[in-house]
Structure formats: structure tokens, C-alpha cells
Amino acid sequence: MATDIKLFNSNDENAWCPGCGNFGILNSLKKAFSEANLKPHQILLCSGIGQAAKTPHYINVNGFNGLHGRALPPALGANIANKDLKIVVTSGDGDTYGEGGNHFIHNIRRNIDITHLVHDNQIYGLTKGQGSPTTAKGQVTSMQLDGVRVDPFNPIATAMTMGATFVARSFSGDVNHLSEMIQKAMEHKGYALIDILQPCVTFNKVNTFKWYKDRVYKLDENYDPTDKDQAFKKANEWGDDGIPLGIIYQDKEAISFNDRIPQIRDNKPLVDREWSPKDASKFMEDFR
């Protein structure tokens, strides 16, 4: 039985631009949590800084706002302390692939049991429209007046190369598909990346809703996401040739970070264990 979706509504005033693709992501999150029969207290939403990072304010779950590019470290800490908590990281393409690139790479290696949603609008939306890691080469922005001069970052191929065990792509304009991807990512044991194509209606006049709708297509039932060679080919499809949506790659045999550590795997979550001052004293004595 689904949880009442209204439980996830927030009374905080929303500061996103009218028509922003973030609204579709927010609605998809609520739908996914509801259909997964989760309650607000069972979920932690972590973010860094940016328009995407405002999401924890607009949904009624536990939330953590961190520093720019630093959404993943508190998510990792929370996951180790409470393995029963559903943890979702919500951040932008700059926050994750730019400022947070180091954490992005190394938490893939760890295979921490979190769902990582990247609101990929191919621009820096909070800081007035300069090029982000995923902005197309040649695209004119508020800062690159003669066009971006470097090649864009490919998050799907990079995540797979680093050993990510769940890599998907969706579109904020398709709430049902994105909600389905979020639920499947939360069910996965380990790090799950969803790169979400999300138009910025204010600062990115190139990658609009129409631009995406004219190019995206859904992978069909004949596609095998466990075939890594095939997945790499899909990871490199982009632009006028089509942009695939769905689970690009999944390793269903992956072992999560917590399951590699017997002290965490075989015991209650750290937050539920009983401790006393004597335990702390004994611990300190070991260092003398």
C-alpha cells in the first residue's frame, strides 16, 4: 500500500523559477517515496549548494544542506551510522561533476548504498548561467561570450569507467519514468547514479524542454543493462543521434560498502546500539 503522497509536502516557500525542470524532479521524488511505501522519517535527503540543492527544503523528509560539492560525505557518514535509512543525494551538474568531482569518483569506488540524483541542466543556474562541466562545446553562456572552448564531461561513461554498479538517465519532463528510475535505484544495493536531464528555463536557452523531447528515447525491453559493452555504446549516444533514457548499466551482483564490513553488516545500525561513558573511557585508554 502506498504512503499518502501529501505527507511529503512542505510549507516552505519555493524559490525556483516558474517552469523550472526541478519541479518535475521534486514531484518524481514524492511519487517514488509514496509508491515505495516509505515514511518521511525513513528518508534522508542530502545536498550541497545550488538550485538543485534547495530540494530538501521543499519536501517533508530529513534533510541536510552541506557545502558546494560536498553532498556525498555526509551521505556516506549517515549511511554508515544508519544502514536502514534510505539516503538520497540531490545535486546539480556543477555541484557533482565540478566542485564535487573528487567525491563523485571515490564514492563510486566505495559503492556506498545511496541514490544520487544529478539535476543536469548543463549550466550553473544559481550563479547566473556560466558553463558547467556538461555544457556543450561552443555554447555561448553568460560568462563564455565566445562559446565554451572545452569538451563536455560525460557522466554516464565516467561513472561506468570508475565501476559504478547502477547508472541511469531520465528526464524531468517525464515524472512517471523518473519516479520509476528512482525506485529502482533505491532498491539497488550500492551506489546508484541517475543523471537527470533538467531544462533551465532562465539561463540555458539551448537545452530546452523541446530540445530534450525531440531527442530522448526510452530503452526497450530487449536492452540488457548487465551487458557492459552495450552499455558503453549507449553511454556515448548524445544529441541529434538520440539520448537514451533508462537503466544504462547495472551490476546486480554488486556488494555495497556496508556489506563488506562485518561489524556493520552483521549488527544493528550504529545509531541503535547502546553505548556508555565506560565504553568511551576504554577506547581512550587504548591510545595511552
pLDDT tens digit string along 241-257?
A: 899 999 999 999 999 99
Reply yes or no on whether the pLDDT at 220 is more than 90: yes
Pairing of strands 192-197, 216-218: unpaired
Reply yes or no on whether the pLDDT at 276 is more than 80: no
> Whole-angstrom Cα distance, residue 24 to residue 171?
9
Q: Which pLDDT belongs to residue 60?
A: 97
The single-letter code of the amino acid at 152 is P
Mean of the pLDDT values across residues 176-199? Answer: 97
> Whole-angstrom Cα distance, residue 285 to residue 288?
5
> Whole-angstrom Cα distance, residue 229 to residue 90?
29
Rounded to 10 degrees, what is the CA torsion of 250, 160, 82, 101?
Answer: -160
Best CA proximity match to 232, nearest among 151, 170, 166, 157: 157
Mean of the pLDDT values across residues 177-200? Answer: 97
Q: Which pLDDT belongs to residue 149?
A: 95
Q: Which pLDDT belongs to residue 80?
A: 93
Confidence class for position 207, pLDDT limits 50, 70, 90: very high
What average pLDDT does the chain have?
94
pLDDT tens digit string along 128-161?
A: 889 999 999 999 998 899 999 999 999 999 999 9
130 alpha-carbon distance from chain centroid: 22
Reply yes or no on whether the pLDDT at 277 is more than 80: no
At 25, is the secondary structure helix, strand, or coil?
helix
The single-letter code of the amino acid at 271 is V
Higher pLDDT, 46 or 69: 46
Q: Which pLDDT belongs to residue 255?
A: 95
Angle ∠(285,286,288) on CA atoms, nearest 5: 65
pLDDT tens digit string along 223-245?
A: 999 999 999 999 999 999 899 99
Higher pLDDT, 281 or 66: 66
| Arch. (CATH architecture) of 5-285 | 3-Layer(aba) Sandwich (3.40)
